[in-house]
Amino acid sequence: MPPVKEEETPLISNRSSNLSFSKTDGLQVYLYHQLNAAQSASDSAGTLNFPLGEYTAEELCIAAAKACGILPVCHSLFALAREDLSGWYAPSHVFTMDEFFSQVLLYRIRFFFPNWFGSQKSFRCGLASDQVSPVLDYPTIDYLFAQVTGRRYPLSMENQETCLGLAVLDMLRISKERKRTHAQLPLSSFRCSYKLCLPEQMRLQLQAQNFVTRKRIRRQFGQSLHKVSSLQTEVRFLKLKYLMELKGLLGATTEETFQAWVPAQAATGSAWTIHVSSEKGILTSHSGAKGTHLFCDFPEIADITIKKPVRDGQPAKSRLVSVTKTDSRVLEMEFGSLADALSFVSLVDGYFRLTVDAQHYFCREVAPKRLLEDLENQCHGPITSEFAQNRLKASQNEGVAHVLRRSPEDFDSYLLTICIKVGAPLDFKSLLIQKGSDGTFSTAGVAKKFCSLREMLGVCQRFSLQADGAAIQLGPQRPPQPKGRPHRSHPWGSCPLPSCHGAAGEWFGKWRGKEVVLRTRDSLIWPLSFPTGVMVQEYVRCGALDSYLRRNQASGKVTATWKLHVARQLAYALNFLEDKAMVHGNVSAKKVLLAREGDAASGCLPFIKLSDPGVSAAVLPKDLLIDRIPWVAPECLEDPKNLAPESDKWGFGATLWEIFNGGIMPLRLMEPERKLKFYQDRQQLPALKWAELANLVAPCLDFDPRRRPAFRSILRDLNEIITSDYELLSDLPTSNTPGGYLDVSLWQDPTLFEERHLKYISVLGKGNFGSVELCRYDPLGDSTGELVAVKRLQQSTSEHRADFEREIAILRSLHHDFVVAYRGVCCNRGRNSLRLVMEYLPNGCLRNYLQKNRERLDLRKLLLYAWQVCKGMDYLGSQRYIHRDLATRNILVENENHVKIGDFGLAKILPQDKEYYVVREPGQSPIFWYAPESLSDNVFSQESDVWSFGVVLYELFTYGSKSCSPSEVRERECVCVCNPLRTQKEVAGLGQWLTQPQRLPSPPNCPAEVSPQAEGNGSVLVPEV
């Protein structure tokens, strides 16, 4: 029901600061000035009475604003105060009225700004620097005048003269409002009235004076009034002059003070005073110190939280309020009651919306209901048409874009401003949407009423609208942006480097050692290197966050509380960058460094630091950006120039998902094509099992960057989740997987290795084309990772890379006990390098093992090795592979009883229609292990591998002796091939020598059953061996 107006009963007698209300039960809102009230300063006030029900403070303020003629643009300056002005109510405060309820509230201007009566220090922002307008409109000035005329003033001699001057202005205003002139109204009519224009304290002082003094003052007052009455001035100018003089009398009236205590000292410690000023922000002072100390201005506030302290295991009535700056400094004070805490927070919250971001609130406890509705509907506040049109001009390439905004003139209306492309000058149309008393929405030309704005906009987007006889199909909606201003899209590189002053090498004092990290740029052409700059960075002890999570996930140290605090600190860091208009561009858990682990038992929180982003996404090629999926924002894949603060919000959402999944890297194991399709199909990561976190991650990973929340909003939502009892985090049902989400577990491939986790130990061997290194793959960073053998190319030509990829494919397909196991690959796309990761066999190659352990290797061991090699070669033959480089140097020893075949760099697969393979470009080959047909015609088959196996038997029973090596023996017996260059003519000579009945000599102590002249294939030799 609407409130009932009462204008006939004045509630302030004699215009003093003591309010006298009628004894009416229920809820009353006192108004200092009403629209169309009687033209007298003493009877322009009134009250609004409200029937039984529930009302929020914001609803009462809107009802009062309508009665006073306050427009929505100035509505945010007002609030409800207690009857004795001892405190204020937040917009979200709920008044529940019943038959026993009775309360009087004051509708007052709460938010003040310096010199706001003109366009000087304080003004409303315009689209251009010269397009400014005053903060207050005339109805608000009328209300402010009525609000301040009843205040008490300090009465020094100088102030008494000022008060008389104010009384003259006030009397002149009254006469003009009554449309009378001084000549028409005798001075005697004012003899009582002029005293009413003076402060009560001054009236009492005048009454104490003698008759002569009172007569003199009355005569001076009349003369002054006679002089100014002839001036052709408007009433509003007189009110402005009155307010300006009053400001000179009282000084700045833009400050509120609150009493608070240092936490845990509320009972014993002395109180602190917190000052909130529109000019300076938040200041503090203490009874034992002089002056005030500035804590922060409003733009520096990152978030505010309200907590309930616990005393002796019981919740206290007081409240802890923490104000955190963007640099992570915290002001934590304890207020005596929840009402005092909400009064303070609502004041700071209101000033922040007025000066920094009109779409933000710090705490849900003080959030206006209309603001929450606007955020849900992506609706702008009561902005003017010029701002809406300017917002749409920026989206000319996005179809018929539109802006939903509240009407700047009506509290119950919305305007849908549409940009229509009809020519060079853009055409704009506005559709009026009205909200009825029943809460439904309607617009002209549509008979149906809608339950919500979203429903109405959905219908308007599905069907066309008519404008000037033309059908219009709505395009994307332009939601409000944080802070209402664009950010620089240039990444960190836009920061100027700090200049160095002083001569290099000058000594300034004692040396102090500090651990640092030296970061150098890798060469793009391996192994060439060039002199380059070195970046010195802080050394962070615990390393990357993703490694720490994987290492400690099962230890119980990483709890939900721990993760939430880490996520909040990361949000603080990114909020700092957002305020500085800077973009990180590569937010992920591996870029978050853990400086302190924290200890839950002692209350010590973890501490993280955001590392540098590396090479900016704005200059990376697309294939490298695809490798960063899902941390890179989708719009950056379309055009790297789209890198903006919204890109970091996407990266934060993916990182938060990663943190609460134990450091698992989502989608990192997908092929690039599937990663790209993941974005193209607008798929999403699986929802986190905590509904609150899932609701936080979802808007961050919105494919429309304009819908992603600001980091201040993310901080607020994180603070709401961080409670004293983390069991409040409700789990989603395991079977509830919303549509559009991808089951990432289907793509977990343990064969992909990250280069940063491969810790180099030593070189195992080098060849003509590549080298093998011993590394430890240590993703947990605790030196407990698996030892692996990593093969890399020495030369990165396209031909060598193709051969290397073929070798990887062959080894990947082989699974046998006597074949070296494939572990995976490591692909660093930044340097276009590829590495093969294999199992590490600690005893090295069989040739060296035979030489070192000859004394304890009997015939049985040698036959065992021969049998295992033969079994392995038989398996290769069954898979239609030919090894082409079988030798003891390429057979690795796992232990004394187990050997494995390795090095498939020359391996080939036989065609399906042939049993041999012809090599067109043999290159550098192990010719002393080759069969005659391979030397003469470059023909390779399983039979040629059998020949090589015969040579291996020779090496086995000579214990790998260098003097008995096949290359040494044949070079001694065949002079024509002693040249180490081994030209094609010399290779042909070796083949001719083999066609003769010349073979390697039988090794000493070799059984008769074993002969170097082996024939047949692997399946025939296995039972013989």
Which three-class secondary structure string do you get for 583-597? Answer: CCCCCCHHHEEEEEC
Phi, psi of 304 (to 5 degrees): -135, 135
Residue with tokens 């090629």: 621
Final residue of a structural domain among 423, 450, 473: 473
* Whether residue 189 sits in one domain with residue 141: yes
For residue 872, the one-letter residue type is G
- Residue at 451 is within a domain: yes
Parallel, antiparallel or unpaired: strands 102-109 and 26-31: parallel
Is residue 78 within 8 Å of 110, Cβ to Cβ? yes
Question: Which H helix or E strand runs over 940?
Answer: strand 939-940
pLDDT of residue 498: 35
* Whether residue 163 sits in one domain with residue 50: yes
* Whether residue 778 sits in one domain with residue 679: no
pLDDT of residue 361: 93
Helix, strand, coil shares of the chain as percentages rounded to 5?
35, 20, 45
CA angle 908, 909, 915 (to 5 degrees): 110
Final residue of a structural domain among 839, 874, 906: 839
Is residue 79 within 8 Å of 57, Cβ to Cβ? yes
d(CA 178, CA 997): 136
- Residue at 706 is within a domain: yes
Q: Strand, helix or coil at 124?
A: strand
Q: Per the structure block, which two tokens stand in for 739?
A: 């549509």
Q: Per the structure block, which two tokens stand in for 720?
A: 């709401």
Region of 739 on the Ramachandran plot (φ > 0 left; ψ -120 to 50 alpha; else beta)? beta
Count the Cβ atoms, other than its own, within 10 Å of residue 748: 13
Phi, psi of 699 (to 5 degrees): -65, -25
The residue among 748, 753, 948 whose CA lies nearest residue 839 is 753
Residue with tokens 């004699």: 14
Is 317 annotated as contributing to ligand binding? no
pLDDT of residue 313: 66
Is residue 690 within 8 Å of 730, Cβ to Cβ? yes
Catalytic residues: 885
Q: Strand, helix or coil at 417?
A: strand
d(CA 951, CA 929): 6
- Residue at 15 is within a domain: no
- Residue at 834 is within a domain: yes
DSSP 236-288: HHHHHHHHHHHHHHH----EEEEEEB-TT-TTTSPPEEEEEETTTEEEEEETT
Q: Per the structure block, which two tokens stand in for 332?
A: 């934590």
Q: Is 765 exposed, middle or buried (0-12, 13-18, 19+ CB in 10 A)?
A: middle
Region of 82 on the Ramachandran plot (φ > 0 left; ψ -120 to 50 alpha; else beta)? beta
Is residue 460 within 8 Å of 445, Cβ to Cβ? no
Whether the model pTM is above 0.85: no
Torsion sign over Cα 464, 467, 472, 474: negative
> Taking the chain (1025 residues) in consecutive chunks of 10 residues, what is each chunk's mean pLDDT?
36 35 71 66 72 91 92 92 90 87 89 65 55 70 76 50 66 64 45 55 61 67 66 68 62 78 72 90 84 91 88 78 90 92 95 91 92 91 84 66 88 87 70 88 83 85 70 78 49 35 35 55 47 73 86 80 92 92 91 89 87 85 86 91 92 93 76 85 86 90 91 91 54 42 50 83 82 87 85 79 87 92 78 82 91 88 92 91 88 93 87 76 66 75 86 85 62 46 51 58 70 49 51
CATH number at residue 879: 1.10.510.10
Q: Per the structure block, which two tokens stand in for 318?
A: 């007081």
Phi, psi of 55 (to 5 degrees): -135, 140
Torsion sign over Cα 763, 764, 768, 769: negative
* Whether residue 631 sits in one domain with residue 553: yes
* Whether residue 810 sits in one domain with residue 877: no
> What residues contact residue 57 under an 8 Å CB cut-off, 6+ apart?
79, 80, 89, 90, 91, 92, 93, 94, 95
pLDDT of residue 724: 45
* Whether residue 558 sits in one domain with residue 662: yes
pLDDT of residue 635: 93
Torsion sign over Cα 31, 36, 37, 39: positive
* Whether residue 674 sits in one domain with residue 567: yes
Q: How far is CA 306 from CA 345, 503, 601, in A?
A: 9, 51, 23
d(CA 652, CA 569): 12
Q: How far is CA 312 from CA 129, 264, 315, 561, in A?
A: 57, 11, 8, 23
Is residue 946 within 8 Å of 887, Cβ to Cβ? no
- Residue at 698 is within a domain: yes
Q: Per the structure block, which two tokens stand in for 219?
A: 């005569």
pLDDT of residue 728: 42
* Whether residue 205 sits in one domain with residue 63: yes
CATH number at residue 759: 3.30.200.20
DSSP 323-372: EEETTS-EEEEEESSHHHHHHHHHHHHHHHHHHT-TT--S-GGG--HHHH
> What residues contact residue 364 under an 8 Å CB cut-off, 6+ apart?
92, 716, 720
Final residue of a structural domain among 250, 283, 310: 250
* Whether residue 621 sits in one domain with residue 680: yes
d(CA 143, CA 34): 8
Number of domains forming the structure of the chain: 5
d(CA 708, CA 573): 17
Q: Per the structure block, which two tokens stand in for 756?
A: 């940063």
d(CA 1011, CA 1003): 9
CATH number at residue 396: 3.30.505.10
Q: How far is CA 562 from CA 324, 557, 664, 714, 726, in A?
A: 19, 8, 17, 17, 11
For residue 695, the one-letter residue type is N
The residue among 417, 421, 422 whose CA lies nearest residue 432 is 417
Phi, psi of 892 (to 5 degrees): -105, 150
Is residue 1012 within 8 Å of 951, Cβ to Cβ? yes
* Whether residue 560 sits in one domain with residue 654: yes
- Residue at 13 is within a domain: no
DSSP 184-212: TS-GGGGTTHHHHTS-HHHHHHHHTS-HH
d(CA 471, CA 771): 69
pLDDT of residue 445: 72
d(CA 638, CA 632): 11
Torsion sign over Cα 905, 906, 907, 909: positive
d(CA 924, CA 823): 28
* Whether residue 794 sits in one domain with residue 692: no
- Residue at 771 is within a domain: yes
> What residues contact residue 535 under an 8 Å CB cut-off, 6+ apart?
518, 519, 520, 612
The residue among 940, 914, 909, 912 whose CA lies nearest residue 810 is 909
Domain of 454, in residue numbers: 379-473
* Whether residue 826 sits in one domain with residue 849: no
d(CA 83, CA 93): 16
Q: Per the structure block, which two tokens stand in for 128?
A: 């251009």
pLDDT of residue 245: 63
- Residue at 318 is within a domain: no
Is residue 593 within 8 Å of 608, Cβ to Cβ? yes
Length of the chain: 1025
Count the Cβ atoms, other than its own, within 10 Å of residue 446: 16
Is residue 482 within 8 Å of 476, Cβ to Cβ? no
